[in-house]
């Protein structure tokens, strides 16, 4: 019997993993296996910044495996305003989860880093060996340092105790159940929400920045399958980048155009170049992933974006938009 605890289980990635586990055929490559019990927890069940609450959570479920996705996340502006909070709260969450897992003899933990924690000054494409070669970009200072530390912690636990702790490094993720709150959302959900409001209210659709930055985007439901693969088949302490290929970069402008199309938005949009762009590009190599997995079929970008927009339109009332306390 395996009990797989997914922290951050109701978030963007957590929900995607749940979706895949519930919809893929049982016993298939990414489907639920017999003897597996999957538990998706959110902060309403336990505040992982608190050691006691984390301990009680582990006592309640007794997980054999953990996919640790819970984190304090946010967009550019909130990261720059609350550097200490993002650093410290994330370190608390990660330390509580890893240390509790160690103390309770959890068999395996996969934590979640991000390509945004790599050094600002680095040669591209990013790969798994470059995480610590310099300081991260200032725009996600606290989050980056806390996440990088997870890789350090994994190695320390492995070295001293033999723990099977490892990590995944996704690129920019999008999909249903994202945070669409304009105050703190990442670029895709923010633009989807902005376009929606422009369409509904006749307000201008303003895109922050020049539209030029490039990103590799991974659909949450594809990422979910990769996490399931890593849980079942990968036992090295070294992280793995979970991403589409480098040749799949899209610009923010291309993204906006795709949203306009998916939304069937008939108005204009404006690029506000007075607003910060964030990092220009950060291509990451998925060579290691593909060499280990064999093949993997990623959902075509336009299709994934269409599905996400469709989900947002269908679920606007319940989506995390920042309206009415969501």
> Which long-range CB contacts under 8 A does 130-135 form with residues at least 24 apart?
131/169, 131/239
Site for another protein in 160-199 (CB under 8 A): 160-161
- Considering only 142, 209, 278, 283, the residue that binds another protein (CB under 8 A) is 142
Q: Is 219 a catalytic residue?
A: no
First to last CA, the chain: 36
Residue whose CB is less far from another protein, 88 or 253: 88
Q: Which residue, 175 or 239, has its beta carbon nearer to another protein?
A: 239
Can residue 281 be called a binding residue for another protein (CB under 8 A)?
Answer: no
List, as one string, the DSSP characters of 148-168: HHHHHHHHHHHHHH---EEEE
- Give yes or no for residue 153 binding another protein (CB under 8 A): yes
What is the sign of the dihedral through the CA atoms of 144, 136, 215 and 183? Answer: positive
Q: At closest approach, how far in Å is the CB of 152 from another protein?
A: 5
What residues contact residue 209 under an 8 Å CB cut-off, 6+ apart? 252, 271, 272, 273, 275, 276, 277, 278
Q: How many residues bind another protein (CB under 8 A)?
A: 26
Told to check if 55 binds another protein by CB under 8 A, we report no
- Rank residues 146 and 195 by Cβ distance to another protein and give the closer one: 146
What x-and-dash track marks residues 79-108 binding another protein by CB under 8 A? --xxxxx-xx--x---x---x---------
- Beta strands (DSSP E) in the chain are 2-7, 36-40, 65-68, 108-112, 165-170, 172-174, 205-208, 214-215, 217-219, 240-242, 250-251, 269-272
Q: From the list 33, 60, 62, 132, which residue makes contact with another protein (rule: CB under 8 A)?
A: 132
1 interacts with another protein by CB under 8 A: no
Q: In whole angstroms, give the CA distance from residue 152 to residue 113.
A: 12
Which residues fall within 8 angstroms of residue 261, CB to CB, at 6 or more apart? none
- Choose, from 61, 124, 143, 265, the residue flagged as catalytic: 143
User: Using the rule CB under 8 A, which residue among 78, 122, 156, 182 binds another protein?
Assistant: 156
Q: Which residues are near another protein by CB under 8 A? A: 81-85, 87-88, 91, 95, 99, 132-135, 141-142, 145, 149, 152-153, 155-157, 159-161
Q: Name the residues annotated as catalytic.
A: 143
């Amino acid at each position: 019997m395996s009990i797989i605890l997914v922290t951050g289980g109701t978030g963007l990635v957590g929900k995607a993993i749940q979706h895949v586990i519930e919809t893929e055929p049982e016993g298939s490559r990414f489907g639920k296996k017999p003897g597996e019990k999957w538990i998706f927890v959110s902060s309403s069940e336990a505040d992982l910044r608190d050691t006691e609450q984390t301990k009680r959570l582990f006592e309640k479920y007794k997980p054999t495996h953990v996919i640790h996705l819970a984190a304090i996340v946010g967009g550019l502006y909130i990261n720059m305003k609350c550097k200490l909070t993002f650093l410290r709260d994330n370190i608390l969450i990660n330390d509580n989860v890893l240390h509790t897992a160690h103390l309770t003899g959890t068999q395996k933990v996969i934590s979640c880093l991000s390509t945004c924690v790599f050094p600002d000054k680095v040669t591209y494409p990013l790969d798994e060996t470059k995480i610590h070669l310099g300081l991260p970009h200032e725009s996600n200072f606290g989050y980056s340092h806390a996440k990088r530390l997870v890789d350090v912690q994994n190695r320390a636990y492995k070295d001293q105790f033999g723990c099977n702790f490892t990590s995944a490094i996704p690129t920019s993720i999008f999909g249903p159940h994202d945070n669409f709150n304009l105050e703190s959302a990442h670029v895709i959900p923010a633009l989807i929400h902005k376009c929606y409001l422009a369409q509904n209210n006749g307000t201008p659709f303003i895109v922050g920045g020049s539209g030029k930055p490039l990103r590799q985007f991974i659909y949450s439901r594809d990422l979910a399958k990769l996490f399931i693969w890593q849980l079942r088949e990968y036992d090295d302490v070294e992280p793995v980048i979970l991403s589409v290929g480098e040749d799949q970069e899209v610009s923010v402008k291309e993204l906006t155009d795709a949203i306009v199309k998916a939304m069937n938005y008939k108005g204009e949009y404006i690029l506000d170049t007075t607003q910060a762009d964030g990092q220009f590009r950060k291509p990451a190599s998925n060579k290691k992933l593909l060499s280990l997995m064999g093949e993997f079929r990623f959902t075509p970008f336009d299709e994934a974006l269409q599905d996400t927009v469709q989900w947002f339109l269908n679920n606007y009332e319940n989506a995390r938009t920042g309206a009415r306390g969501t």
